[in-house]
Amino acid sequence: MEEIADGLVNDGAKTQRSKKPPRSKPRRKRIIAPLNQERSALMIKSQQAAMSRINPHTALKAVVAEGEKNPWNFADELFPDRIQVPDIIHVRDKLWPPAHLYHKKESLQTPDYVRESLVALLKGEVDMIIEDLGIALADGSLSASKAETLRSKVLGYFVNNRDRMQCHKYLALGLPIGSGVGDGTCKNLINDRMERSGMRWAPDGAEAILKLRSLDLADLWNDFRAFRTQRGKQSLCDRQGIIMNQPSYQHDMDKTA
């Protein structure tokens, strides 16, 4: 638990305890990159892609998402049989505001607070975090604006996701607790390609590039080329058939004969 918390607070910096052989890279990722679709349509497409790839005999299935309301609403609707796991990276980000309220930003105690809170959460002690935040609101030490920030943006988040914050159980089951694969894919898919110096994009052009790049990152480029080649041949055959059936073409052929 401490090693995970160290990595999260230190932005992934490796400690002496974390020296392990490099993990294998994710394979057969399915990457979807539309810009001009409604979110609901995107979620349905994601569901269809996930369902087509999951073995029906798989015992454990999970959805990892940020702990906000909308993703869980989609999960309830489209993946009702999945364990819902709040992304630990997003959870960590929710701990920095109270750390800055309790301590000055440059204080060494600020990261220590976040680290200790993460260790507690990874052990399943979310009630302790909620109780600590409640005490901070009740003792009157915070200004009205700071108290409102803590109540609306932090305490409400942990209360709403209380039943989902069972990291100790997820880790014991071998389930992921972070969406690092997804976040890394977004950076590789979008930032590294679309945000280079001087680039400007229209929506249609950006979507076309992202779709092509998503195919490449998912190792589907050769399949896509084969599909395009086959479809191009079929299109030429179809057009040739239409031309041959035109009356003018038939007339010319009769004259030639």
In this prediction, residue 15 has a pLDDT band, given cuts at 50, 70 and 90, of very low
The per-residue pLDDT for 14 is 46
Q: Which residues pair with 62 in a beta bridge?
A: 83
Q: Please tell me which residue, 141 or 158, carries the higher pLDDT value.
A: 158
**Is 248's pLDDT higher than 70?**
no
Render pLDDT for 209-240 as a digit per residue (tens, 0 to 9).
Answer: 888 888 888 888 899 899 989 988 888 887 77
The per-residue pLDDT for 104 is 66
CB atoms within 10 A of CB 32: 16
Sign of CA dihedral 111, 116, 120, 122: positive
Q: Please tell me which residue, 71 or 181, carries the higher pLDDT value.
A: 71
The per-residue pLDDT for 243 is 61
Which amino acid is it at 228? R
Taking the whole predicted model, whether its pTM rises above 0.85 is answered as: no
> Scanning the structure block, which residue is given the tokens 């915070």?
142
Comparing CA positions, the residue from 150, 214, 153 lying closest to residue 182 is 214
According to the 3-state scheme, what is the secondary structure of 56-120?
CCCCCCEEEECCCHHHHHHHHHHCCCCEEEECHHHHHHHHHHHHHHHCCCCCCHHHHHHHHHHHH
